[in-house]
Each structure stands twice: as C-alpha cells, then as structure tokens.
Structure 1
Amino acid sequence: MQRLEEPGDELVDAVMTASRALLAVVVRSLAAVDEDVTLPQYRALVVLGQRGGMRSAELAAALAVTPPTCTRMCGRLEGKGLVVRERPADDRRAVAVSLSPAGRALVDDVSRRRRDELRTLLAGVPTGRRAAVVEGLRSLADAADEVPERDWTDSVVAP
C-alpha cells in the first residue's frame, strides 16, 4: 500500500479559504429558495439526489450522523414534503428514504443558482489557470468520494 504524504499548511490554508468561499455560495443559493431548509438537511437531500433512495441507516452513515439524528432530520424533511419515507416490503423494520418531486425540484433549483453564481465567481480565474483549478478540485472531490456533478444531475441544465 502506498503511503500518502501529509499535506502542508499552505495546501490546508488554501482549501480552508476556498471552502469558505464555496460555503458562502451554497448558503446564498439555499437562502434564495422559499423553503426553510438547514445546511445539514440540504446535504441529506443532495446525498439522496446523488445516490437515490436508501435505507435510513445508510443515509445516516453517508451523512456521518447517528441514526436517531437522521430519523429526526428525515421527519422534518418529510413534514416539508421534501422526502418520502416508506417501509420496504422485504424488511418492515427498516425505513427507506427518497426524494419527493418537491425535494428533487429544490435540489435542482439550488443547484442552478449555485452554478450561476459559480460561473460568475470563476470568471475571475485567469483562463490559463482554469485547467489547474479543475484538476485540483477533481482530486479533492475524489479524495472525498464525491459523485461527479454530471453523474447525478440529470435535470439541472447548464446554460
């Protein structure tokens, strides 16, 4: 097994700074929609959008929260009409969670708003440095085991 070198402070500082800028984009995009959804709830909706419906315990693991926390979150999202919870026929003890049409619409709307704002932000990156940004961000996304954007957003259309 290959031993990975620990990243230096310069790399960590650069990613911390960039993550603040990206988080601000997410917060503004989420605040612009009419739903009252928290960032953790939105993350749950995105995970369901990326991976499809799943059992509540699987969603809890994907979100790195406890099953009771996930259950409460899903209850709130179900109350807002953004997810559907059902008991699978093969295991009546489990609960399967999936996006409702309204949940999919919310994720699509926030994603469109994020794309628009990111397009504006990225226009400030010099053309000659954009390939390096793409490579670095793809490496970071791979390390985080994130699903590539185009692999899960079929209804979000780029302008």
Structure 2
Amino acid sequence: MEEPLRRGREQPPVDAAPPADLVAAPGYGARRMYQAYLAAWNRHVDPVLTGPQFAVLSAIRAYPASDQSSLAGAVALDTSTMADVCRRMERRGLISRTESPRDARRKILSLTADGTVALEGVTRRTRRLDQELLAAVPEERRTEIAGLLNTLGAHWEAVAEREGLGDPA
C-alpha cells in the first residue's frame, strides 16, 4: 500500500507523455501546433512583427486602398483587433490610415515605404519557415495539407459561431 502524500512532500518530477484522450483531441493538436508556430516565428521570422501584422501587410499589398474593416475578414481578425493591429503598425510607420472621402468612419489602408521593405524581408523569411514547417510532408502533398488546414480553420470558425452543440447522446 502506498503512503499518502504528506504536506510538504511532493512527487518527484516525471517525464509524462500527454494522456491518450488529450492527444486524440483536435484542439490539443491545434494548440500545440500554434504554440510551436509562434516560437518558430519569433526565432526564425521576426521577434517584433507578429503573424497577424504580417497578414495585414500582405492583405494591404494584395488589396491596395481597401478599408480596414473589409480587410479584417480577409486576415481572420475581428474588427476591434484589426483596429489595434493597424494602430500599432501605423505608429511604427509601416502603414498609413486615412479617412475615406465618402465615409469618415472608414479607414483606408496603404503600405508606407518602410512597410513595403519590412514586408519583403518578412515574406522571404516566412516562405523559408513555411517550407521547413511542411518538410515532414511529401512535397506533392504540401498544397493539399495547407488547404486542409485552412478548410479546418473555416469550419472551426463556423462551429465557434453556433449557438450550441447540444449534448452527446
């Protein structure tokens, strides 16, 4: 019979694997991948410019003279987060935000010269990271896997918007 734990005594550290039910949960895998992605981004791409900021810069380049709210959906940010991200990048001199001539509430976004230079450098490093992240996947399946991740992302966003999932039977 094992002696019960006494106050002040703790179990020695163990090198425990995650429980099987946790490993089987897609959310656990997604969170693990996201944490690893953030660590890889900070080390190999840019410790200051974030992934969402990179996405916004890329969207501005792809859709010049678009408004902030319209681009929020394209980069999977809610409008308040998009506004915060854009304010930070404007303070850093990477983008400019101007009022729309037709609607002063709308902010039109454009890249500055510094933003263009930053985007070019970060894009090169991001593509190298993308290649490395998918290196465990056969080259002919990498586009398929990236597409599957985006399909799952869209589905998970839709699930998050549902009122309720109901109780399992």
Moved more, 38-47 or 88-97: 38-47
Q: Name 1:140's counterpart in structure 2.
A: 149
> How far apart are the structure 2 equivalents of 1:37 and 1:121?
19
- Preserved CA contact (<8 Å) 1:27 1:39: no
- Superposition TM-score, scaled by structure 2 size: 0.56
Tell me the TM-score normalised to structure 1 length: 0.59
Matches within 5 A, 1:1-159: 9=24, 14-28=29-43, 29-31=45-47, 36-62=48-74, 63-67=76-80, 69-120=81-132, 122-123=134-135, 125=136, 129-142=138-151, 144=153
Contact in 1 for aligned 2:94/2:113 (Cα 8 Å): yes
Q: Do 1:49 and 1:99's aligned partners in 2 also have CA atoms closer than 8 Å? A: yes
**Cα distance, 1:103 vs structure 2:** 1.5
Q: Where does structure 2 lack aligned partners over 5 or more consecutive residues? A: 1-23, 155-169
Aligned residues: 130
Identity percentage of aligned residues: 26
Looking at both structures, which has the greater relative contact order when contacts are Cα pairs under 8 Å and sequence separation is at least 6? 1
User: How far 1:101 sits from its partner (Å)?
Assistant: 2.6
Conserved? CA contact 1:25–1:118, under 8 Å: no
Structure 1 residue identity aligned to 2:118: L
Superposed displacement of residue 144, structure 1 = 4.2
CA-to-aligned-CA distance 1:53-100 (integer Å, 9 cap, x gap): 421222344443244x43343222112110111122232332211222
Q: Please, which runs of 5 or more residues in structure 1 have no aligned partner?
A: 1-8, 146-159
SS at match of 2:105: coil
Q: Which has the higher helix share?
A: 1
Q: Say which one has the larger Rg.
A: 2
1:21-52 Cα offsets, whole Å, 9 max, x none, are 43333222012xxxx43444333323323443
Q: Alignment RMSD, CA only?
A: 3.2
Distance 1:113 1:94 in 2: 32
